[in-house]
Amino acid sequence: MKSSLMIDVSPNYSITFPFEEKHDPKAVQQWFAENWHLSLYFSVVYLILVFSGKEYMKKREAFKLRKLLVLWNVFLAVFSIFGAFRTLPEMFHVLSNYGFDHSACNPSYAEQVKVSAFWTWLFTLSKIPELGDTLFVILRKQSLQLLHWYHHVTVFLFCWYSYPEHFSTARWSVCMNYTVHAVMYSYYAIRAIGYRPPRWTAMLITMAQTTQMIVGLGVNGYAFHRKINGHYCNCEMRTLFWALLMYASYFVLFARYFYFAYFSKERTKKD
């Protein structure tokens, strides 16, 4: 009987681009193994700029930046839409043919399927430009919430830290994040243009983000259960610990935001 690592797990992509075919998962994995620590330096610089920038803007007029904000959100929306369309087929194929255990514990998405491997690599790199979201918050003098900067910096650190091991549950994280961001940044782009979608649209997006954290907890909890019972799962225990802690903290912060944004008496009065 063939090992699940050796069978053909590639979905039938109708179109495969040359840059996807040329992707070398092992070379990229080696690069991150040697350079993941760069994310620590980026994070320190990011946090310094965030809080010094917030202080700098206190006595200054807010920048409008509408056109630039539209372009920024359209770019991230299009990128996320492409990422979702290129990674979800692999997820559906694995779930349909090999089951949930493979989807949570087998890193074939990053090692055997070049399309999903390429877009997982881009996903990991994209956590650097996504830090730019905070620049718009600061320059436009919007409320800088803990959820915003904490989420950005910890996702960035975790993605770069876990990439070298081809963390198996990342298959779920990447697909969910691309999908939620495709909707979220499209919504932001529409808002930046000047159109205000119905309030329930924003509520649904926040619900999707919160659900993403619940699913993340479930998938990583399953992987943890498999590991402690001696079964194969391509996740280091220390990385699973950080993943569970990260998702738990996100769930608390998103659930808290959801309540105060849509159901608290103070917000209801403002609306």
171 assigned to some structural domain = yes
270 assigned to some structural domain = no
Q: Is the pTM of this model over 0.85?
A: yes
Query: Quick one: pLDDT band at residue 221, thresholds 50, 70, 90?
Result: very high
- The H or E element that residue 81 is part of is helix 66-97
Task: Give the mean pLDDT of 130-152.
Answer: 95
The conformation of residue 230, written as its DSSP 8-state character, comes to: T
248 assigned to some structural domain = yes
**CA 114-19-100 angle, 5° bins:** 20
Measured CA to CA in angstroms, residue 142 lies from 57, 133, 149, 151, 244 at distances of 10, 12, 13, 17, 30
Q: What residues are annotated to the active site? A: 151
**CA 246-123-222 angle, 5° bins:** 40
118 assigned to some structural domain = yes
Q: What's the gap between Cα 220 and its chain centre?
A: 15
Torsion of Cα atoms, 246 then 93 then 108 then 240, to 10°: 20
Q: What's the gap between Cα 143 and its chain centre?
A: 22
Q: Does 270 have pLDDT greater than 80?
A: no
Amino acid 3: pLDDT: 39
Amino acid 266: pLDDT: 59
3 assigned to some structural domain = no
What are the pLDDT digits (tens) for 111-131?
Answer: 999 999 999 999 999 999 999
Of the candidates 153, 125, 168, which has an alpha carbon nearest to the alpha carbon of residue 35?
A: 125
What are the pLDDT digits (tens) for 156-200?
Answer: 999 999 999 999 999 999 999 999 999 999 999 999 999 989 999
Residue 13: CB atoms within 10 Å: 16
Q: Which structural domain, as residue segments, surrounds residue 79? A: 63-262
Measured CA to CA in angstroms, residue 107 lies from 52, 104, 132 at distances of 40, 8, 30
36 assigned to some structural domain = no
57 assigned to some structural domain = no
Amino acid 14: pLDDT: 86
Measured CA to CA in angstroms, residue 73 lies from 126, 176, 181, 255 at distances of 13, 18, 10, 24
21 assigned to some structural domain = no
Contacts made by residues 5-8, CB under 8 angstroms, sequence distance 24+: 5/106, 5/108, 8/112
Of the candidates 180, 197, 198, which has an alpha carbon nearest to the alpha carbon of residue 189?
A: 197
If one counts the domains in the chain, the total is 1
